[in-house]
Structure 1
Amino acid sequence: MRAYLLLMLVAAAVTYLSTPAARWIARRTNAITAVRARDVHATPRPRLGGLAMLLGIVVSVLLASQMPFLSGVFETPQAWGIVGGATIVCLLGWADDVWDLDWVTKLAGQVLAAGFMALMQVQLTWLPTPGGLTIGDSNQSLIATVFVVVVAMNAVNFVDGLDGLAAGVIAIGGSAFLLYTYSLTQQASPQDYSSLATLMMAVLVGVCIGFLPHNFFPSHIFMGDSGSMVLGLVFAGAAITVTGNIDPAATRDALSGAQRVPLFIPLLLPVAVVLLPLLDMGMAVVRRLAAGKSPFHPDRMHLHHRMLALGHSHRRAVLILYVWAAVFSFGAAALVRWEWRVVLVGLGIAIVVALVLTLGPLRTRGRFLDDDVATGAQPAVDAPAPAVPASGHTSTHEGRTR
């Protein structure tokens, strides 16, 4: 574990130190988030945080490739496939942040990046279903891989709606996935704890931690599409490599019933991490279609908008959404260690606590979490609190593909 923690620290340090340079590049290339009527931020912000994240990933993986402990991980090109795919979508996101690409071009770029990963052996070969569904056909495997990666990239992009939200949610979900993959490796190979999935999750958590000081409210830079797509692709790539390291036939013969539950985590955990944005995206599509509008038509009824409308400050809304991400992520990961009935009880209790935090008196209490405390602004006197604060941001993707 010490090697993974070292790589996490390196990724965090490189990302943190290089983010000011990314902000400078964003200003030089005019990659600036404009203020739109539906947005929550009040002033234009640079949005190329993904460049710093990519640099953190590249440096950390290069360092890992020189570690004897992780030499076995680099016997296949999978690690470089994930790094290469991340580079492609980062450049795509940069172009989108500068020139505002149409959705067809962006989708084509995302498919290209996912296809490159598949070419480098990062492919879904089976799905952890009760019968252990094997994807025997190479074309079906390619299609399944591309679909999963593209959905993951857009799901992370969708959650990028408030300062620090996407980076924090992925850091939390990535931590849960890291513990899962490390535990799985311990059980599968007690003599060798090296794992590509654990490596990529450690690096992913590190870049999120390194970026958060610059991105938490009040933010100085947004990650932009160049960042959200990188996070989604790396997360999906790590999840896919986990399924590739499990023999479905041997597993089906060796385990039965509840013993198979941990094997569903490679699919369950990524869904748990992005459950809230996926639900938000689904409700947005239904809401817009019901109103006779395009499913990509922007509005101010997303989950983060509703949190602000409930009376939460920007910072408080983000922290509460962190709680929800932790509830679902660690609840799914707990299935590796505990019996599912015990996990279900604990999950129920955690959900009740999260509901109290979301709907309870915290909405108007906790002065240290108020936005004016963070910005140093004077709070309004004898005036109702606005439904939407004057700072923060909504996803740079909103209105272009949603």
Structure 2
Amino acid sequence: MPLYIYAFIVSMALSYLATPKVIDLAWKIGAIDVPKDARRVHKKPTPRLGGLAIFAAFTAVGLLTLPLEQSSIQGMLVGGAILVIVGVLDDVYGLPAKVKLALQTVAAYIPVLFGLKVQWVTNPFGGMFYLGQWSVPVTLFWIVGITNTLNFIDGLDGLAAGIAAIASITMMLVNASLGQVNATLVTALLAGAALGFLPYNFNPAKIFMGDTGSMFLGYMLAVAAVDGAVKSATAIALIVPILALGLPIFDTAFAIVRRLAKGKPIMQADRGHIHHRLLDVGFSHRQAVVYMYLMSLALGLCAIIMIWAGVKQAFLTLAIFFVAFLVGGRQFVVSHDKKSQHL
């Protein structure tokens, strides 16, 4: 059995075992999410800090399986640890959005200092662009951006953890097929840690991952994608993680445009995310989460098809899924409206 499969299984088991301990810790130190506004969909106080269990499982197994002598791995782990500290401080005390963004940028710069950066932007249809002096800004934008996509989408029980697990598994399979050992191990560890946490986080959640978890998962996925892109000779190395994380990327991009159009700060939370829209049209909490899981699975499958069958087949599959989700979603809304009229 490949090492990354062992890493996946052990990471999942440790995360599952560690989460109850973190629940107790969160109650003791007061790291509790109390619903205070209409944006929050949970009804009772719920512990945060679940990301500590994810981080602990990832780190414990990672220290035994990752090539710690490599500078890229060192930078990845140091930056991830910094973000976990930032997340804990935010989950316990609350940090201003600007402070979090500044600290995220610092964490993103750590792997760059260790030599991990995007130097080429590739086109899946052919051609490559050398970034030159733009290499560092593009790398920072990518890492900080993906770090926040999971943070933004973490609005329903189990949503961010499930999507992170799906994206991690997608990237793990692709990296394994391309022979990217480090990126395969990192994404296997992330997938296992997220899945081990998920039983406690799915609706009704016993604990939230908090910023500790969402920022750590987003950050590590972003850096793993950069590591895979740097060491891969394929022209679609960064297209795969963009597809795998397509749902949170789209949701975040739409949120930024929406907030700018309304003259609001881009880091200011609102109730316009995809999961909020699904709830508004009649989806239950669990139905909305599962629907978004299926969307992420579809995007992940397209990423895998792109590697194994080609770009045209992947985009054809994507178009089919897009139509299917539109029709299925509309059918659900119509059915829900009819039921409401009969009540």
Shared fold, TM over 0.5: yes
CA distance in 1, matches of 2:293, 2:283: 14
- Select the residue among 119, 126, 151 that pairs with 1:125: 119
Residue matched to 2:232: 246
1:74-120 per-position Cα deviation (integer Å, ceiling 9, x unaligned) = 44222232122111101100001111111222112111211222222
Specify every segment of 5 or more residues in structure 2 that has no aligned partner in the other structure, as ranges: none
Do the aligned residues in 1 keep the contact of 2:244 with 2:303 (CA within 8 Å)? Answer: no
Do the aligned residues in 2 keep the contact of 1:15 with 1:56 (CA within 8 Å)? Answer: yes
- In the alignment, structure 1 residue 269 sits paired with structure 2 residue 240: yes
1:193-245 per-position Cα deviation (integer Å, ceiling 9, x unaligned) = x6101010111110111010010111100000000010011101111111211
1:339 CA drift (Å): 3.0
Cα gap change, 1:322 to 1:240, in 2 (>3 Å): same
Return the letter of the residue paired with 2:304: A
CA distance in 2, matches of 1:298, 1:76: 38
Cα gap change, 1:168 to 1:109, in 2 (>3 Å): same
1:348 CA drift (Å): 2.4
- In the alignment, structure 1 residue 148 sits paired with structure 2 residue 142: yes
Residue matched to 2:26: 26
Paired residues in the alignment total 337
CA distance in 1, matches of 2:218, 2:150: 6
Do the aligned residues in 1 keep the contact of 2:153 with 2:273 (CA within 8 Å)? Answer: no
1:42-80 per-position Cα deviation (integer Å, ceiling 9, x unaligned) = 011111011111111111112214xxxxxxx44422223
1:299 aligned counterpart, secondary structure: coil
Residue matched to 1:204: 190
CA distance in 2, matches of 1:127, 1:286: 24
CA distance in 1, matches of 2:342, 2:51: 39
Return the letter of the residue paired with 1:342: Q
Cα gap change, 1:345 to 1:284, in 2 (>3 Å): closer
1:307-365 per-position Cα deviation (integer Å, ceiling 9, x unaligned) = 11121111111011011111112202211111333333322222233234323248868
- In the alignment, structure 1 residue 228 sits paired with structure 2 residue 214: yes
Do the aligned residues in 1 keep the contact of 2:302 with 2:318 (CA within 8 Å)? Answer: yes
Cα gap change, 1:309 to 1:237, in 2 (>3 Å): same
Cα gap change, 1:295 to 1:19, in 2 (>3 Å): same
CA distance in 2, matches of 1:180, 1:75: 24
Residue matched to 2:130: 134
1:360 aligned counterpart, secondary structure: helix
CA distance in 2, matches of 1:284, 1:342: 30
Specify every segment of 5 or more residues in structure 1 that has no aligned partner in the other structure, as ranges: 66-72, 186-193, 248-261, 366-380, 385-402
CA distance in 1, matches of 2:328, 2:60: 39
Return the letter of the residue paired with 2:253: G
CA distance in 1, matches of 2:44, 2:226: 39
CA distance in 2, matches of 1:279, 1:182: 26
Do the aligned residues in 1 keep the contact of 2:16 with 2:196 (CA within 8 Å)? Answer: yes
1:383 CA drift (Å): 10
Do the aligned residues in 2 keep the contact of 1:173 with 1:330 (CA within 8 Å)? Answer: no
1:2 CA drift (Å): 2.5
Within-5 A mapping of 1:116-195:
116-129=110-123, 130-137=126-133, 140-185=134-179, 195=181
Do the aligned residues in 2 keep the contact of 1:162 with 1:304 (CA within 8 Å)? Answer: yes
Residue matched to 1:55: 56
Alignment TM-score, normalising by the size of structure 2: 0.91
Residue matched to 1:300: 271
Cα gap change, 1:290 to 1:113, in 2 (>3 Å): closer
1:297 CA drift (Å): 4.2
Do the aligned residues in 1 keep the contact of 2:178 with 2:232 (CA within 8 Å)? Answer: no
CA distance in 2, matches of 1:57, 1:131: 36
Cα gap change, 1:297 to 1:142, in 2 (>3 Å): closer
Cα gap change, 1:383 to 1:55, in 2 (>3 Å): farther
1:25 aligned counterpart, secondary structure: helix
- In the alignment, structure 1 residue 44 sits paired with structure 2 residue 45: yes
Cα gap change, 1:98 to 1:344, in 2 (>3 Å): same
Residue matched to 2:98: 104
Return the letter of the residue paired with 2:128: G
Point out the structure with max Rg over C-alpha: 1
CA distance in 1, matches of 2:283, 2:156: 12
2:235 aligned counterpart, secondary structure: helix
Do the aligned residues in 1 keep the contact of 2:305 with 2:313 (CA within 8 Å)? Answer: no
- Select the residue among 61, 67, 87 that pairs with 2:81: 87
Cα gap change, 1:89 to 1:125, in 2 (>3 Å): same
More displaced stretch, 34-43 vs 205-214: 34-43
1:289 CA drift (Å): 3.9
1:254-286 per-position Cα deviation (integer Å, ceiling 9, x unaligned) = xxxxxxxx522x322222233333333333333
Residue matched to 2:308: 337
Residue matched to 1:213: 199
1:122 aligned counterpart, secondary structure: coil
Do the aligned residues in 1 keep the contact of 2:48 with 2:207 (CA within 8 Å)? Answer: yes
